[in-house]
Amino acid sequence: MKKPIYIFIFLTIFIVLSHIFLSKLPAGKTKISFLNIGQGDSILIQTTNLQNILIDGGPDQKVLEELGETLPIFFNQIDLMILTHPHADHINGLVEVLKRYEVKKVLISGINYNNNFYDEFLKSIKEQKIPLEIATANKDFDLNKKIFLDILYPINSLAGKNIENVNNSSIVAKLIINSNHKILLTGDAEQETENKELLTDFDLSAEILKAGHHGSKTASSLNYLQAINPKTTIIQSGIANTFNHPHQETLDKFNNLGFEIRRNDMEGRIIFEIL
């Protein structure tokens, strides 16, 4: 009599796990999750062909909890990891991800920066023999023939360079889905970088903008915002953070331009699913 009971228990567990697994798949849509990791940035892109792209990892191990709740059970692969710049609130979590996930490729700006976490990050990549690429403008990642991740900044390679304001070494990327859905991801790029982008012939327009530098007044110049003209802006900042991000000056700009404002510190994890 025990055998049928074991079979029933096994089937029940299988059905429950299958439901959990399938519920976390993109289901024909590209899923973009602005992870709730406190004061920092971390964005997960899941494509319809089951590729996972992780951009930044926040300040600590919180990203592991977020990935565990967002990725399907037993998925431990990150196809592309992008470090926009090596400040602690972007890189620290990535060090932990490298320990627990199989990372297929890493993209960085390659600047010189003296930081223990950055050293550990680069050491881990080398030890695991993960392909490492340097970001420059017009480097495109074809994710499934209909989804592209285009790098807009740095315009020229910053590899091996000392950058006075590390925020302005941030990788800026544009996610393009089926040609007509565009999401601009700006790291901590400030107005100096924004001005350089405006001098190019890049199409900056996007329906969703990840606001630069957590909504700081040092980013989001009026000309830049007008060139992008998004419907929605996402602000990744932590509750009651010591930097007072987002700054009221930035919020006023967004409101005056009629942008919808969504914030991790108010909503938690923010998810978009796009056909």
In CATH, what number is assigned to the domain containing residue 213?
A: 3.60.15.10
pLDDT at 234 over 80: yes
pLDDT at 24 over 70: no
- Residue range 148-153: average pLDDT? 98
Structure tokens at 140: 């495109």
Residue 1 within a domain: no
Range of the domain at 93: 28-274
Residue 238 within a domain: yes
Residue 62 within a domain: yes
Determine the pLDDT at residue 199.
97
Q: Are 205 and 231 in contact (CB under 8 A)?
A: no
Three-state secondary structure call for residue 139? coil
pLDDT at 218 over 80: yes
pTM score, whole prediction = 0.91
Q: How confident is the model at residue 144 (pLDDT cuts 50, 70, 90)?
A: confident
Residue 151 within a domain: yes
Residue 224 within a domain: yes
Q: How confident is the model at residue 67 (pLDDT cuts 50, 70, 90)?
A: very high
Residue 6 within a domain: no
Write out pLDDT tens, residues 104-136. Answer: 999 999 999 999 999 999 999 999 999 999 999
Q: Are 90 and 83 in contact (CB under 8 A)?
A: yes
- Backbone dihedral angles phi then psi of residue 270, each to the nearest 5 degrees: -115, 125
Residue 23 within a domain: no
How many structural domains are present in the chain?
Answer: 1
Determine the pLDDT at residue 4.
56
Q: 16 vs 133, which has greater pLDDT?
A: 133
Residue 54 within a domain: yes
